Amino acid sequence: METATLLIQRGVPGEDGRWDRFTVTYEPGQSVLDGVRLVRSTQDASVAVRYSCINANACKECMILIDGKVGYACTTRLEPREMRLQPLPNKILVRDLVTEIAAPDERLTVSGDQ
Ligand code: FES
């Protein structure tokens, strides 16, 4: 049985980040997002990742750094090797792989926030 290893950058703003390594079963045709969802369902449900359409490349919410290059987790193929996943570097980090992607004037604010 082949496996894929996902090295995922974890953390929240204001804390030291860390890397967690997860190994999942690999089947040809799976996406990186499939691998992260498998991690969440079988190993660590606290891994934060944003997605909506799952594999249509329509919502654009799953954009992350994959091996140092910007890509959509739902359309990038999982490979039977170690793959390094990070949040987008030019966006505000929310947690783990999730960054703030809404335009500033479209963000919800708490009363008193600017
Ligand atoms: S989950 Fe919608 S584009 Fe990737």
46-92 pLDDT, tens digit per residue, is 999 999 998 777 898 999 999 999 999 999 999 999 999 999 999 99
114 falls in which pLDDT band (50, 70, 90)? low
CB of 51 closer than 6 A to ligand 1? yes
CA of 50 to the centre of ligand 1 (A): 8
Q: How do residues 27-36 score in pLDDT, each as one tens digit?
A: 999 999 999 9
The CATH fold assigned to 3-106 is: Ubiquitin-like (UB roll) (3.10.20)
Please state the domain extents for the chain: 3-106
**What's the gap in Å between 24 CA and the centre of ligand 1?**
21
Give the span between the Cα atoms of 63 and 79, in whole angstroms: 18
Dig out the tokens for 2 from the structure: 């082949």
Give me the pLDDT at residue 112, please. 59
CA 114 – CA 20 distance, rounded (Å): 34
Q: What whole-number distance in Å separates Cα of residue 55 and Cα of residue 77?
A: 11
